[in-house]
């Protein structure tokens, strides 16, 4: 090769080498942008799931008597605190055992020491959708959700200490163990069970525990008469219930939308649409059924219809066409109406806010619906879904029974007579939530405060 050809090659290749460097840099910056975008959505979705806790607190407070308001508010506030802390301590590690999870647990400290490059947990090497911290943040908000479902079902006649100990154990063990079966890559996942954002893994787990505890502690005083007649104990603050349901609906866009685990435009936007339509259909269906059946408007049922539609779509929000989302939501709305009346009037379990009908019954329905509607529909999938529902149900019921009885023996679960007589708030807080509105309470507060003061 002649000399000038060499020169010519050098001349043409040198910019190529520069381009190669630039291309590598550009490519890594493109990946970094995509990662930052995905991570941003999961973080924001986590914030939206967080606000669901205010939704739960508001719904439960709005639909129950004012004499238990402070008690419910404290329970739901404490559960968010407990849920976040226990998930850092144990839950994260227990639920995703194959990874470097758990923040302050022994296992995670051990992992941290043995892992060669912890910085990798903060890049797309950990996951193309989120950092290790974002993963924890999003998942921790889910854990607290499952636990907070219980508090509505037991409102008005549970002991604070017993409830908080149960919630702590539920958060430490029940939720992460069940979660590990599917989302941690456990046996339900290997089986082919599908639960996109947690109709079963989150909602029915909370729902089963709610059913067990509500049954164990019995009804509120005055709910069922000795002659078998059923009394309605009215919600004390309906705007608060509406605030709660709308915040839950809002947060559910993050709950389901974030469960895509990336900001993939097609997937997330489909999930938002199926979520919105299922909720709308559920509210419309439940409201209409109630109006036809009772010949009067029923706000509570309309609200629970929205929640039912949301729980129902959660298992398959990414698998449904538009009309299927509407169908699943509508059926959820009808189911929640009849389930509520059945549980309240026939089975006679006192569930002040309808948590069992919404989260358990519609959680089961939504999970099975994945085998009936959408991309995965098949008899085989339906059978797999049924197996998942059953496995989770059996575990959670057994867990709740054992832990429930143990706590009942040690701390007590059902409120004693003095608490039931004066109300949770005066008994536990020596106070009421609306001291200037419920004038009749004033004398009772003073009397009770004097009585319980040690």
Residues 249-288 that bind a copy of itself (CB under 8 A): 249-250, 253-254, 257, 263-266, 268-270, 272-273, 276-277, 279-281, 283-284, 287
The reply to whether 147 sits near a copy of itself by the rule CB under 8 A is no
Question: Measured from the CB atom, is 28 or 378 closer to a copy of itself?
Answer: 28
> Is residue 39 involved in binding a copy of itself (CB under 8 A)?
yes
Nearest distance from residue 40's CB to a copy of itself, in Å?
5
Calpha distance 177→40 (Å, rounded):
28
Nearest alpha carbon to residue 281 among 242, 243, 333, 321: 333
Which residues in 315-354 contact a copy of itself (CB under 8 A)? 322-323, 326
State the binding string over 369-388 for a copy of itself (x if CB under 8 A, else -). Answer: --------------------
- The distance of closest approach from Cβ of residue 19 to a copy of itself in the complex, given in angstroms and rounded to an integer, is 6
Strand partners, 158: 414
| Site mask for a copy of itself (CB under 8 A), range 419-448, x = bound | ---------xxxx-xxxxxxxx--------
Name which position in 97, 107, 133, 397 contacts a copy of itself (CB under 8 A): 133
Return the C-alpha torsion angle 377, 383, 388, 394, nearest 10: 150
Q: How far apart are CA 286 and CA 292, in angstroms?
A: 10
Which residue in the set 68, 84, 148, 381 belongs to the binding site for a copy of itself (CB under 8 A)?
A: 84
- Minimum distance from CB of 119 to a copy of itself (Å)? 8
What's the rounded Cα separation, in Å, for the pair 194 and 202?
Answer: 13
Among 98, 117, 296, 443, binds a copy of itself (CB under 8 A): 296
Closest separation in Å from C-beta 200 to a copy of itself? 25
> Scanning residues 198 to 257, which ones bind a copy of itself (CB under 8 A)?
234-240, 242-243, 245-247, 249-250, 253-254, 257
The total of other beta-carbon atoms located within 10 Å of residue 44's CB is 15
The answer to whether residue 73 forms part of the interface with a copy of itself (CB under 8 A) is: yes
> 220: helix, coil or strand?
coil
DSSP state, residue 219: P
Buried b vs exposed e over 215-250: b needs ≥16 C-beta within 10 Å? bbbebbeebbeeeeeeeebebbbeebbbbbbebbbe
Q: Which CB atom, from 251 or from 388, has the smaller least distance to a copy of itself?
A: 251
65 versus 381: smaller Cβ distance to a copy of itself: 65
Helices (H), 295-378: 299-314, 322-341, 355, 362-372
CA–CA dist 308, 118 (Å, integer): 41
């Amino acid at each position: 090769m002649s000399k000038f050809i060499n020169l010519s090659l050098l001349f043409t290749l040198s910019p190529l080498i520069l381009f190669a460097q630039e291309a590598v840099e550009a490519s890594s910056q493109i990946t970094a942008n995509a990662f930052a975008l995905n991570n941003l959505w999961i973080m924001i979705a986590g914030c939206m799931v967080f606000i669901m806790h205010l939704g739960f607190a508001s719904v439960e407070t709005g639909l129950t008597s004012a004499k238990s308001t402070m008690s419910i508010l404290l329970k739901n506030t404490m559960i968010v605190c407990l849920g976040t802390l226990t998930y850092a301590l144990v839950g994260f590690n227990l639920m995703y055992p194959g990874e470097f999870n758990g923040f302050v647990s022994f296992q995670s400290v051990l992992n941290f020491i043995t892992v060669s490059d912890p910085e990798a947990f903060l890049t797309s090497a950990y996951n193309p959708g989120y950092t290790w911290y974002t993963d924890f943040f999003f998942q921790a908000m889910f854990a607290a959700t499952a636990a907070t479902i219980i508090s509505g079902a037991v409102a008005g006649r549970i002991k604070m200490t017993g409830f908080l100990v149960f919630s702590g154990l539920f958060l430490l063990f029940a939720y992460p163990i069940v979660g590990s079966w599917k989302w941690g890559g456990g046996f339900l996942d290997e089986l082919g069970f599908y639960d996109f954002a947690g109709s079963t893994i989150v909602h029915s787990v909370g729902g089963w525990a709610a059913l067990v505890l509500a049954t164990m502690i019995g009804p509120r005083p005055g709910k069922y008469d000795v002659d078998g007649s059923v009394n309605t104990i009215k919600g004390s603050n309906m705007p608060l219930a509406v605030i709660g349901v709308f915040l839950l609906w809002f947060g559910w866009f993050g709950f389901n939308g974030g469960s895509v685990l990336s900001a993939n435009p097609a997937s997330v936007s489909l999930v938002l649409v199926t979520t919105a339509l299922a909720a709308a259909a559920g509210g419309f269906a439940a409201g209409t059924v109630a109006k036809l059946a009772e010949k009067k408007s029923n706000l509570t049922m309309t609200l629970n219809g929205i929640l039912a539609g949301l729980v129902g779509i959660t298992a398959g929000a990414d698998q449904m066409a538009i009309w299927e989302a509407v169908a699943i939501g509508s059926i959820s709305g009808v189911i929640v109406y009849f389930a509520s009346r059945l549980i309240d009037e026939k089975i006679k379990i006192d569930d002040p806010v309808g948590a069992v009908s919404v989260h358990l019954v519609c959680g089961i329905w939504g999970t099975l619906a994945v085998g009936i509607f959408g991309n995965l529909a098949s008899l085989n999938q339906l059978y797999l879904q049924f197996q998942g529902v059953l496995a989770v149900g059996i575990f959670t019921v057994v867990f709740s029974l054992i832990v429930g009885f143990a706590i009942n023996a040690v701390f007590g679960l059902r409120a004693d007579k003095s608490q039931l007589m004066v109300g949770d708030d005066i008994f536990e807080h020596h106070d009421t939530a609306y001291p200037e509105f419920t004038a009749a309470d004033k004398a009772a507060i003073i009397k009770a405060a004097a009585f319980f003061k040690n």
